[in-house]
Structure 1
Amino acid sequence: MKNFGISLLATLFIFCSCENDKADNNKEIEVNEDVASFKEVGSLKIGGEAAAEISAYDETTKRLFTVNNSATNQIDIIDLSDATSPKKIASIYLSDYNGASNSVAVYGGKLAVALESTTNKQANGKVLVFNTSDYTLIKEITVGALPDMVTFSPDGKYIMTANEGEPNADYSVDPDGTISIIDVTNNYAVTTLNFAAFESQLATLKTKGFRVSKTTKSFAADIEPEYITISDDSKTAWVTLQENNGVAKVDLASKTISSVFGLGYKDFNTVENGIDVSDKDLAVAFTPWKLKGLFMPDAVASYIVNGTPYFITANEGDAREYNGYSDVARLKSLTLDPTVFPDAATLKTDAKMGRLNLVSTEGDTDNDGDLDELISFGARSFTIWNGNFGSLVFDSKNDLDKRSNDFGTYDDARSDDKGSEPEAVVVAKMGNKNILFVGLERTDTVMVYDITNPSAPQYLQSIKTGDAPEGLLFIPASKSPNKRSLLVVSSEGDGAVKFFQPDLN
């Protein structure tokens, strides 16, 4: 494999506001950082499992706000004035609001919290807006069911939530999956959008890999929005529809869903896409298999290059597993078409593909009761897509898994499922470079790439994190406590929040 590990110079211009000297306002301070040299500079453990999921930073108070659902539902506040010695200073307890937090975001002294109902998960959720300096509640807004992610637009005019709308255990109640757009400048007026208008496009969407469950009550109910990214000009958002293998494009000015993209399939039957599919073969071998993967992205980020918007997905994959419906099964328990798979008996052994988790409801192309294609969850990669058309520009192939193995963090026990399991993506502007951070949940790693050229990303670095990194946050040097770039990694497996900075050149 070609090694793209190169040392790059990032020149950052930081604008300082000097209160007592107008002549010094907007003074440029030049900071030179090596973007391929991030190292851990601080760490704080705030609890056990599920204690550190998503974090947001307020530059005015130099405080970090982190979701903590390990014991009570709360937001922990961390003093980040010194990243080498972070300290928990307070908590916002959410029991009074009858909800559990899934996500947080900060803008202009306001903290937005996405809150799902703890009494009825299928009921509408809330967004709570707090003051970041004294934690007083500013506004409580009703949104769709199970808001899984919340974010501010870059200009601060909008708050958006991805409302996943998952069904209950027996699948008897399945609320619509929706997107809520909150107009901060209009007294937090909310517009909640569902996907009913796209049901007429389902046949076309299916040809592009978009999927709905076999027992869905309606198209709108089956859609499950997961994560949001908003363009730098605050005009366009892209929302991942993870279980549906799609992405929605949203026009913020008109508050409408303008497009839905099906993401298609990844072909694992090539050398560059080869993966390890067994956790029982006593080896790690990335080889081609007669297998396809649904991208099924979790997190999404976006950026613009030469006027063209791009969105980037972390292709985690996710099954629907409920008492009333499940779409996951191991290959060895399924019937394969004997003509397509004359070696089915061998493939079903544990050392081959028998242990691999498949989408059990997909792949019977002729509807005769056996599988003509093998479809798995996720693509074990990150992908860059054209933001206008949803077309694939670049896929990292098997680079994440192979580099995790080279780094010594690959977990072979996850080979039968989703490999390194890309969970999070964040794009940062560092000097004249666009830098991508990819969080890998099952290898406890963040990988760093230069994506300045969207069609030819360059690998820079691997970083060891806490257990199961869930949330990535990049604080640019202009906003960080010590005027140095800062990567914040929140890990839900061990409740650790870790802080990384690059070396100076």
Structure 2
Amino acid sequence: MIIRATALTSLLALQAGMASAEMNFNRIASFATPLNMAEGEDTSRPTSAEIIYATEDGMTLVYTDSPLGVVGLVDITDPRAPKPLGNIDMGGEPTSVGIIGQTAYVGVNTSESYTKPSGKLVTVDIASKTITSTCDLGGQPDSVAVAKDGSFISVAIENERDEELGDGRVGQMPAGDLVILGVADAMADCASIKHVALTGLTEIAPEDPEPEFVDINSLGETVVTLQENNHIVVVSKDGEILSNFSAGRVSLDGVDTEKDGAITFTGSITDVPREPDAIGWIDDEHFAMANEGDMDGGTRGWSIFSKTGELVYDSGTSFEYAIAEIGHYPDKRSGKKGVEPESIEVGTFGGTPMVFVGAERASVVGVYDVTDPTAPVLKQLLPSGIAPEGYIAIPSRNLLVSANEADLVEDGGVRAHVMIFEYTEGPASYPMLTSAGLLEDGKPVGWGANSGMVADGAHIWAVSDSFYSAQPTIVRINPAEKPAKIDQVIRVSRDGKPAEGLDLEGITLDGQGGFWLASEGNAEKGVAHALYHTDATGAIVEEVMLPEALLANQTRFGFEGVTRIGDTLWMAVQREWGDDAKNHVKLMAYNPEKKIWGAVLYEKAEPEKGWTGLSEIVAHGENVYVIERDNQIGEAAQIKKIYRIPASEMVPAPLGDDLPVVSKEEVRDLIPDLLSTGGYVLDKVEGLAIMEDGTAYVSTDNDGVDDHSGETMFFSIGKI
């Protein structure tokens, strides 16, 4: 099946590349949380950045780090070069932080059990990094909010339920409540603590409210989400309940509800409670909330309510669709809560009130213009780190900061990060690739895990890997658009059905309108190392399995790219097979007409950590180009490079003979390119396409947003 772009307007008006007078947020720096550990500490321990706030002057960030039991401090005097200021031990699990002037107020969970919750509010002098007071809160704190005039603090006392007890339902004592306490002499006034009971208000477990998040407007009114109870409460600064109402329920059509290796917006959810998490006042009458869901809910979007309970806006499917268009849709979460909007931040930049909606599972923040709260306009989607938990807007410095809690150190992955974005003139640097405007059966086309590429006239074809094994796909990219535009999608099929179970890592043209596709394969999962020949519609017309003599030495690291030189196909094998010398991999040759196999050897580098391998091969002019990369990410990355091999040396020897070793010359170190958007070095540089004039494009594989930030980088390195 081939789907082409329509002229319909996309749900997301991403206008990167417009006139330079346009204002946009762009990421300018990233800060890895392990940098705040003291010299000699074990930096292999998990750390995190969850809720984040800034000092009044906007020069220092303070974030909660639950795994380490600390708050971390970051100097952003120069926001493009954040500096570690160290950690401060909280004597428990910090859950939230608010700042008045240069003083931080940190909610700390000290509970010994679910039935005996306890916690404290810790006052920290940021300049001296000293704790100046501690207040017993009488329960387990979750969210902390500070009044705009600095006169008081509100704390949501969640007293969360045990998810292993009673089927994880609410109705577990003790009940949570809201704590309000004053501020005097830059310290919390413990004697002024007031507990505001929230029982008896909700339809769901009225005896057991679990306050989740709080925010305070300029009138001193605190809005509280009761997530599991699907309820909202507005409380005066004196502790009077001003209004309370259900967060409501939603039914949606056109939702991907199956974790099945395919992005298909064909399902529906019916009468699902919003179960909001974060909430933030837009003005004194309206607030925005992220409908993450918990027990039974999660509507994949966000809403705006008036403080009297009127729903004035709901995003429906539009937020999730916009995320899918930029390749950030997390298919593995389809059976649960999709992109999971969790965070809300509000700020006014350049006179425009904005709401920032963070999607935890998509690792994205949506930037909305809420000049009219009844009709928000999505202006941008920004790439965050993995699992964004909190944001802080600093309009006085034109900055937005995200705190991203996932630390994958135990799996050899990227560390938790704080990321800094600047609002300034110029085009948006992200997304680099979008399918905006392309529809399939009336729904946006989601994509991800792009691997191999090949140029075709003014366009580039790319193929997705095994993450979407139920929906192997070829997409056509127009690189002249800004951002580059996916304008056609071809579903790979076999006998009229999706060709499930392929691990496509390479693509090249067959010279007759069709394609040759390389499948990496994995014998342990029953996926063959193979070549597939398709026609122009993606229908497989020929399947080529590897010879048994070669498979006798196979590993799961097979073909990572395919290219064509004359009548011969060349495939790069990612890593050594059983008959290869150390740090040598095969470049395999196959002649489809003569059915003859052969190979040469390529010597790859040995990194200090992990492994290196090949991830792409492209013939152009008198050379063959390969991408050689290690499997490291972030600061540990060393090798992400393009090399060239003289085409004259690509003379295959018969399998079983001594194979010649080709020479190589470094063309480009890609690490500076991978750092160009202010993030960390992504692991999988897997796509290379070279246009007829020699202009080269590079892309990364985002692993289908599974334990990944979801970012796809697609960029030109000029003429190669």
**TM-score, with structure 1 as normaliser:** 0.73
Residue 187 of structure 1 corresponds to which residue in structure 2? 189
Name stretches of at least 5 consecutive residues in structure 1 with no aligned partner: 10-31, 213-218, 320-358, 360-376, 478-483
| Residue 256 in structure 1 maps to residue 240 in structure 2 | yes
User: Displacement, 1:268?
Assistant: 1.5
User: Displacement, 1:442?
Assistant: 0.5
Letter matched to residue 299 of structure 2: A
Residue 96 of structure 2 corresponds to which residue in structure 1? 103
1:69-108 counterparts in 2 under 5 A?
Answer: 69-70=66-67, 72-95=68-91, 99-108=92-101
Residue 129 of structure 1 corresponds to which residue in structure 2? 123
Residue 232 of structure 2 corresponds to which residue in structure 1? 247
Structure 1 residues 50 and 286: CA distance shift in structure 2, 3 A: farther
User: Displacement, 1:455?
Assistant: 1.0
Residue 154 of structure 1 corresponds to which residue in structure 2? 148
Letter matched to residue 145 of structure 2: T
Structure 1 residues 190 and 268: CA distance shift in structure 2, 3 A: same
Residue 264 of structure 2 corresponds to which residue in structure 1? 285
Q: Is the 8 A contact 1:439 1:447 kept in 2?
A: yes
Q: In structure 1, the residue corresponding to 2:424 is in which secondary structure?
A: coil
User: Displacement, 1:299?
Assistant: 0.2
Letter matched to residue 38 of structure 1: F
Match of 2:275 among 277, 296, 308: 296
Structure 1 residues 499 and 231: CA distance shift in structure 2, 3 A: same
Q: Is the 8 A contact 2:402 2:420 kept in 1?
A: yes
| Residue 57 in structure 1 maps to residue 54 in structure 2 | yes
User: Displacement, 1:163?
Assistant: 0.8
Cα distance in 1, alignment partners of residues 84 and 325 from structure 2:
35
Residue 379 of structure 2 corresponds to which residue in structure 1? 460
Match of 1:380 among 300, 308, 328: 300
Cα deviation 1:334-362 (Å, max 9, x = unaligned): xxxxxxxxxxxxxxxxxxxxxxxxx3xxx
Structure 1 residues 158 and 34: CA distance shift in structure 2, 3 A: farther
Q: Is the 8 A contact 1:52 1:497 kept in 2?
A: yes
Residue 160 of structure 2 corresponds to which residue in structure 1? 166
Q: Is the 8 A contact 2:111 2:119 kept in 1?
A: no
Cα distance in 2, alignment partners of residues 230 and 125 from structure 1:
21
Match of 2:249 among 257, 265, 268: 265
Q: Is the 8 A contact 1:161 1:180 kept in 2?
A: yes
User: Displacement, 1:445?
Assistant: 0.6
Residue 67 of structure 1 corresponds to which residue in structure 2? 64
1:330-409 counterparts in 2 under 5 A?
Answer: 359=296, 377-387=297-307, 389-409=308-328
Q: Is the 8 A contact 1:419 1:442 kept in 2?
A: yes
Cα distance in 2, alignment partners of residues 34 and 179 from structure 1:
43
CA RMSD of aligned residues (A): 2.3
Cα distance in 1, alignment partners of residues 233 and 417 from structure 2:
32
User: Displacement, 1:113?
Assistant: 0.5
| Residue 113 in structure 1 maps to residue 106 in structure 2 | yes
Cα distance in 2, alignment partners of residues 84 and 402 from structure 1:
32
Q: Is the 8 A contact 2:301 2:315 kept in 1?
A: yes
1:209-220 counterparts in 2 under 5 A?
Answer: 211-212=204-205, 219-220=206-207
Structure 1 residues 454 and 242: CA distance shift in structure 2, 3 A: same
Cα deviation 1:94-124 (Å, max 9, x = unaligned): 23xxx21001111122110001115345323
User: Displacement, 1:303?
Assistant: 1.9
Q: Is the 8 A contact 2:56 2:99 kept in 1?
A: no
Residue 29 of structure 1 corresponds to which residue in structure 2? none
Residue 665 of structure 2 corresponds to which residue in structure 1? none
User: Displacement, 1:170?
Assistant: 3.9
Q: In structure 2, the residue corresponding to 1:503 is in which secondary structure?
A: strand
Q: Is the 8 A contact 2:112 2:118 kept in 1?
A: no
| Residue 436 in structure 1 maps to residue 423 in structure 2 | no
Cα deviation 1:145-196 (Å, max 9, x = unaligned): 2100111110000111011112345469621211000111493411011223
Cα distance in 1, alignment partners of residues 329 and 366 from structure 2:
13
Residue 330 of structure 1 corresponds to which residue in structure 2? none
Structure 1 residues 170 and 293: CA distance shift in structure 2, 3 A: closer
Cα distance in 1, alignment partners of residues 233 and 172 from structure 2:
24
| Residue 445 in structure 1 maps to residue 439 in structure 2 | no
| Residue 313 in structure 1 maps to residue 289 in structure 2 | yes
Q: Is the 8 A contact 1:144 1:179 kept in 2?
A: no
User: Displacement, 1:8?
Assistant: 13
The number of aligned residues is 388
Cα distance in 2, alignment partners of residues 316 and 285 from structure 1:
21
Q: In structure 1, the residue corresponding to 2:425 is in which secondary structure?
A: coil
Q: In structure 2, the residue corresponding to 1:423 is in which secondary structure?
A: strand
Cα distance in 2, alignment partners of residues 193 and 8 from structure 1:
51
Structure 1 residues 419 and 61: CA distance shift in structure 2, 3 A: closer
User: Displacement, 1:74?
Assistant: 0.7
| Residue 230 in structure 1 maps to residue 216 in structure 2 | yes
Structure 1 residues 290 and 486: CA distance shift in structure 2, 3 A: closer
Q: In structure 1, the residue corresponding to 2:242 is in which secondary structure?
A: strand
Cα distance in 2, alignment partners of residues 183 and 34 from structure 1:
43
Structure 1 residues 173 and 406: CA distance shift in structure 2, 3 A: closer
Q: Which structure's relative contact order is higher, taking Cα pairs within 8 Å and 6+ residues apart?
A: 1
Cα distance in 1, alignment partners of residues 21 and 97 from structure 2:
29
Cα distance in 2, alignment partners of residues 236 and 410 from structure 1:
36
Cα distance in 2, alignment partners of residues 195 and 33 from structure 1:
49
Structure 1 residues 287 and 173: CA distance shift in structure 2, 3 A: closer
Cα distance in 2, alignment partners of residues 61 and 470 from structure 1:
20
**TM-score, with structure 2 as normaliser:** 0.51
Letter matched to residue 89 of structure 1: L
Residue 410 of structure 1 corresponds to which residue in structure 2? 329
Q: Is the 8 A contact 2:257 2:267 kept in 1?
A: no
Q: Is the 8 A contact 2:111 2:117 kept in 1?
A: no
Cα deviation 1:229-284 (Å, max 9, x = unaligned): 11123x211100000001111011x2222322112210124xxxx2111112x422
User: Displacement, 1:444?
Assistant: 0.7
User: Displacement, 1:58?
Assistant: 1.2
| Residue 490 in structure 1 maps to residue 466 in structure 2 | no
Cα distance in 1, alignment partners of residues 160 and 224 from structure 2:
16
Cα deviation 1:25-81 (Å, max 9, x = unaligned): xxxxxxx9844x2111111111375511111111448221111123x3111111111
Q: Is the 8 A contact 1:61 1:133 kept in 2?
A: no
